[in-house]
Structure 1
Amino acid sequence: MWETMKKLAGLLLCSVVVFLAACGQGETSSDAASDNETSDSSEKIYVLTTIAQIAEPLSVIGGERLEVDSLMGPSVDPHVYQATQSDIAKIENAELIFYNGLNLEANMVDIFNHLADTKPVVAIGEEISEESLLQDENKAVDPHIWFDIDLWKEALDRAVEELKNYSPDDADMFEENKQAYFSDLEALKEEATKLQHIPENHKYLVTAHDAFQYFGHMHNLEVIGLQGISTDDEIGVSDINETIDIIKKYEVPAIFVESSVNPNSINAVLEGAQSEGIDVTLGGELFSDAMGEPGTEEGTYIGMYRHNVDTIYEALMGGTE
């Protein structure tokens, strides 16, 4: 059954690439640029992103000039996401496409590479300097850069520069809105400094998969992910037992599930630890690879980040206040 599903997914990917390549043959990059120059400035620019962590900030920065859509909504795991039939129209109609890159959207890369000759397609995470990127023990680059606010500002800045190039008449407005939004991100950084007050022996963040290394690096937390940086990685009994040993050794007061990851593995750790008499609780749900529902506070980048900060702080303080 699984093999059949993978074959069908592969066939769909091929059909999407062929379809989009054929659609792009009738219009060259210079034709597209010419169309843009003569387009009605009152029409919204249709921007497509993979993850909402890119889409929502750009919708704020772009204001009324942009219509921003994301392919991957709440609870969607970008590590294993496959393009669907309904994605084809969005991808073809988009005037600009932004994705994280760094192998986050591994199954979408071929499509984006084929589209890059016909429209702006930018992997904003791959604009970050190599020395700023974290790697796992196997030297694989960690793609979860949105958890370092400073790095995410760099990535968003790259997207805004592309918007300015595409619509020069709106460049000043985009820049002004970006600066206002970045001021809000600086305020968010200041809010998050309360994590520094967590007692040193409680500064262990145990989650379902290794998505929080940038967060931990920024806020001085030791991060233990049950799975690797991709949710496609396997979890074995030894991984569960090693995590239980860490919880016991450091007296970790709480562990966390993630909104886009099956909670079974973390629940197995929780049950295993409690069966050994270890005093640990479920600290709550964190947003890692996906944000909350649109229209909610957690459906915004700032609100999602703030939710994580507050949830981690309250759980790891462990009644020490």
Structure 2
Amino acid sequence: MFSSRRLHRPLLRNPHVTVVGIAVLVSSIVLLGCQPSATPSGSEATQTYSGTYPIQAVATVGMVADLVRTIGGPQVNVQQICGSGVDPHLYKPTRDDVQLILSADVVFYCGLLLEGKMGDTLQKVSKMKPCIAVAEQIDDELLLKPTEFEGHYDPHVWNDVSAWSKCVDAVAQSLSKFDPGNKNLYEERAKAYEKTLTELHAYGKRVIATVPEKNRVLITSHDAFNYFGRAYELDVMGIQGLSTESEAGLQRINELVDLLVDRDVKAVFIESSVSRKNIDALIEGSLSRGHAVKIGGELFSDAMGQAGTYEGTYVGMLDHNITLVAGALGGDVDPKGFSGKLAGTAETEQP
């Protein structure tokens, strides 16, 4: 009932998951299975909350955690596994992470293979408690399936505000089913948040449209911004593939250098959760061709900003990215952004 409709499709297996990690998970699941609240093996958990408040929720990444915090309000306490600057593609769950997931009342995650090394853990836990993959409840026609991702969907849906807003209802419905006594509160918060996201998306469309058409090229470390490009009409290219586990080859670097020179692109972007070495190689390659490229700034791709900051919220994360890209590529934008809460566009780095 609470699991995503694609939760039980085959997950990518990772040979680097440690024997110790598997043993911890198995032993914990066995112990939890002895408790009366656990659902029998082979079925999906469909329990209703009957404990004291706040509900204890766990979310894998910041974008999901922020959704649950916003909609859950004081009724839900959210603990987040992957913090600021942490790459979920590469993150390996620790023993403490597994125990945190097992002790939670409800678990939320992105899905679409974003949490690759946590996938098996989440799938097993879904048999015992509500475990919701929010992005996997978005209609398929809104999802991208790049050819290089072997038939899987691109998980970076949050970079299109209009698409990510579909997850608001998924979270509200899941919390309402789990905690029906507070259904009205969850639905009211969801409605207000959807209004904010609609306004943020319109802001993105408006300011990116001020960038000269020939300059609408967004080059980053890896392919996390395909949805961003679709939503705001930019040509987006990553040096690496969709997963940061892939390596960038010399041929790819040379192809992008050619593009930078041919289209006279002046700025490329680093990411907060990905090494900048490939971007530096791109800048050096362009310079060797007599074309100077600057770093337009640091974008939040797979992780939000620091907890407690505006950029540490989903709205702040996207406001930062939209405003920074528009300004660095030559658009007309207020550096304080959508809601006036940004500190202002940082000075770009010269090569």
Matched, 1:142 2:159: no
In structure 2, do the counterparts of structure 1 residues 86 and 228 end up closer, same or farther at CA, with 3 Å as the change threshold? same
Give the stretch that moved more between structures: 129-138 or 204-213: 129-138
Whole-angstrom CA distance in 1 between matches of 2:99 and 2:333: 53
2:46–2:130 Cα contact (<8 Å) kept? no
Give the stretch that moved more between structures: 191-200 or 297-306: 191-200
- Equivalent residue number for residue 82 of structure 1: 92
What's the C-alpha RMSD, in Å, of the aligned pairs? 2.1
- Equivalent residue number for residue 348 of structure 2: none
Offset of 1:219 from its aligned partner? 0.2
Give the stretch that moved more between structures: 255-264 or 78-87: 78-87
Over residues 11-44 of structure 1, what are the superposed CA-to-partner deviations in whole Å (9 max), with x where a residue is unaligned?
A: 233123203311321234469877833x23xx20
Choose from 47, 54, 71 the match for 1:44. 54
1:13–1:82 Cα contact (<8 Å) kept? no
1:45–1:65 Cα contact (<8 Å) kept? yes
- Equivalent residue number for residue 183 of structure 1: 195
Whole-angstrom CA distance in 2 between matches of 1:319 and 1:245: 27
Equivalence map 1:92-107=2 (5 Å): 92-107=102-117
Whole-angstrom CA distance in 1 between matches of 2:103 and 2:140: 33
Amino acid at match of 2:280: N
In structure 2, do the counterparts of structure 1 residues 57 and 319 end up closer, same or farther at CA, with 3 Å as the change threshold? closer
- Equivalent residue number for residue 121 of structure 1: 131
Give the count of matched residue pairs: 313
Matched, 1:14 2:22: yes
1:207–1:266 Cα contact (<8 Å) kept? yes
- Equivalent residue number for residue 109 of structure 1: 119
- Equivalent residue number for residue 256 of structure 1: 269
Amino acid at match of 2:54: K
Partner-residue secondary structure (3-state), 1:317 = coil
Partner-residue secondary structure (3-state), 1:72 = coil
Amino acid at match of 1:156: V
- Name the TM-score, length of structure 2 as normaliser: 0.84
Over residues 79-100 of structure 1, what are the superposed CA-to-partner deviations in whole Å (9 max), with x where a residue is unaligned?
A: 1111112213311211111111
1:209–1:229 Cα contact (<8 Å) kept? yes
Choose from 163, 166, 169 the match for 1:154. 166
Offset of 1:174 from its aligned partner? 0.5
Whole-angstrom CA distance in 2 between matches of 1:255 and 1:56: 28
1:12–1:83 Cα contact (<8 Å) kept? no
Over residues 240-273 of structure 1, what are the superposed CA-to-partner deviations in whole Å (9 max), with x where a residue is unaligned?
A: 1111111111111100000000001101101111
Partner-residue secondary structure (3-state), 2:147 = coil
In structure 2, do the counterparts of structure 1 residues 7 and 218 end up closer, same or farther at CA, with 3 Å as the change threshold? closer
Matched, 1:171 2:179: no
Amino acid at match of 1:252: V
Offset of 1:320 from its aligned partner? 11
Matched, 1:26 2:31: no
- Equivalent residue number for residue 308 of structure 1: 321
Identity %: 36
Structure 1 or 2: more helix by fraction: 1
1:153–1:182 Cα contact (<8 Å) kept? yes
- Equivalent residue number for residue 224 of structure 2: 211
- Name the TM-score, length of structure 1 as normaliser: 0.92
- For structure 2, the 5+ residue unaligned runs are 1-13, 335-351
In structure 2, do the counterparts of structure 1 residues 205 and 29 end up closer, same or farther at CA, with 3 Å as the change threshold? same
- For structure 1, the 5+ residue unaligned runs are 1-5
Whole-angstrom CA distance in 2 between matches of 1:152 and 1:251: 32
In structure 2, do the counterparts of structure 1 residues 146 and 162 end up closer, same or farther at CA, with 3 Å as the change threshold? same
- Equivalent residue number for residue 3 of structure 1: none
Amino acid at match of 2:201: K
Over residues 108-160 of structure 1, what are the superposed CA-to-partner deviations in whole Å (9 max), with x where a residue is unaligned?
A: 11111111111001111111222221122334321100111122111232122
Amino acid at match of 2:88: P
- Equivalent residue number for residue 7 of structure 2: none
Whole-angstrom CA distance in 2 between matches of 1:48 and 1:198: 39
In structure 2, do the counterparts of structure 1 residues 275 and 30 end up closer, same or farther at CA, with 3 Å as the change threshold? closer
Over residues 38-78 of structure 1, what are the superposed CA-to-partner deviations in whole Å (9 max), with x where a residue is unaligned?
A: x23xx200111110001012212211111011100011111
